[in-house]
Structure 1
């Protein structure tokens, strides 16, 4: 457990491996357990991998109503996790809101980064003219804080993953249900985390600073992403100075089992040039 603010702790875990540290930053309202074990094992062949639960997810402190925070604070939490593991500099990879936080790290803490990878995310600036989330997702998000039994909550979460998965990669409902059962056991809660939707979003327009980034950055396009669909990734890559854009075909806004290998290859090709 890592103290990130007075009375606030986040759960973090290291998966030992050779090579340089790699910090994984998950999306909004999602536990670090959302990173699949198969992906962690693949990355840990080459890196010391660290994942963690954001505030108000998993085993971390759930106290937003008593201790509200800004989304920018979650980026500082990532730095606190690196400090707790005595990591001076790390590769970082962020998905969705995690990609937003990685962008904040690029402009606020570049000295702590060896490289950065961002996917399923939008640029830290106005995104006028770019497509928004699928209306079916928006309707489902309207139910986020509804009261549900454990079984109803599992059904809701699996349906959420089905929409996030997109229409190309096979959707393994049993695998995502098992994942959510593990997350419930891990967190000791069955309600849907929702605090990040209420967090302060001030200070997130950082496009000018992103254009000055010198940290090697990979932007991965998820062509089936229903939250930040194309051309969000291309726009992000054009915003971050010197970044490289590549596509993982079939990838949506979920880590589908069938796409873990090409995603790992993309990340490892960026961090160490080795995809074996």
Structure 2
């Protein structure tokens, strides 16, 4: 049973708390906006703190929503204990529901990026009654889906080789200066090759995340976690929750047509392209991304 520690919701613009979830894990949670507005839960990708969602994006979304972002297990200020208490990736979807339960949020719009998009697909299958809408981007269709006559597996390219080389170094011991350089280079590749890359913007982000986390050590927990239980793509054919799939045309992790394949697997899903979007969230793309999400959730475009 999830439990909140720290300040409670109600009548504030911004607050932080901790939510205790199963297996002795405590998650850092931040809430922004008016609790009387529709809730919007942001679910980040693998090994990434909730602070990876840009403050500017949270601010724009909070004009129409009560925005919740949080640190997954083994990221940020949440409990780091994977090696003592390992868990499967699918448990992170249960954590998202635990956050809603602890904040007494009956239903929410949910936005998932990268691995967060995988988790949102599981939420669509197991907790549809808790979702007002779903938005997914930077992700791919979970396994086990029925063959698509229009987009075959051979049409789905893998990650950029430059990323594979960087990922081979994930979790290696580096001093803070070297770790910062590695992370900025990682963001450079994730950004894609169309939008200008502002190295100092992402260096500032990583300094904030390190200060927030209290360490420069990178976690590889989600890369090591059990991937079983994700072969459920065929079940998406029964989804009725309004779903938006955002196509990131410059994404080096899940390049086109991954987004189109995912959208085709979910009945009625909309597919909208955000020009220039890669697998990073630079300031240059935040206004168009926020407008795309807000249009889908029924807020101001």
Task: Give the TM-score, by structure 2 length.
Answer: 0.90
Q: Is 1:106 equivalent to 2:132 in the alignment?
A: no
Q: Residue 134 of structure 1 aligns with which residue?
A: 160
Separation of aligned partners in 1, 2:259 and 2:236: 14
Separation of aligned partners in 1, 2:67 and 2:24: 26
CA contact (8 A) 1:170 1:256 kept: no
After superposition, what is the alpha-carbon deviation per residue over 1:95-130, rounded to whole angstroms, capped at 9, x for unaligned?
A: 000000000000010010000000000001258321
Q: Residue 182 of structure 2 aligns with which residue?
A: 156
Q: Residue 4 of structure 1 aligns with which residue?
A: 21
DSSP-derived class of the 2:153 partner = coil
Q: Residue 69 of structure 2 aligns with which residue?
A: 51
Offset of residue 19 of structure 1: 2.1
Query: Unaligned regions of 5+ residues in structure 1, if any?
Result: none
Structure 1: 4+ residue segments shifted above 6 A: none
After superposition, what is the alpha-carbon deviation per residue over 1:193-248, rounded to whole angstroms, capped at 9, x for unaligned?
A: 21000011111111221010000000000000000000000000001121110100
Separation of aligned partners in 2, 1:104 and 1:60: 22
Residue 189 of structure 1, aligned match among 199, 215, 224:
215
Residue 234 of structure 1, aligned match among 260, 265, 270:
260
Separation of aligned partners in 2, 1:134 and 1:32: 24
Separation of aligned partners in 2, 1:138 and 1:114: 36
RMSD: 1.0
Q: Is 1:82 equivalent to 2:100 in the alignment?
A: yes
Separation of aligned partners in 1, 2:153 and 2:73: 29
DSSP-derived class of the 1:6 partner = helix
Separation of aligned partners in 1, 2:281 and 2:171: 24
After superposition, what is the alpha-carbon deviation per residue over 1:53-104, rounded to whole angstroms, capped at 9, x for unaligned?
A: 0000000010001111011000000000001111000000000000000000
Task: Give the TM-score, by structure 1 length.
Answer: 0.98
Offset of residue 273 of structure 1: 4.5
DSSP-derived class of the 2:286 partner = helix
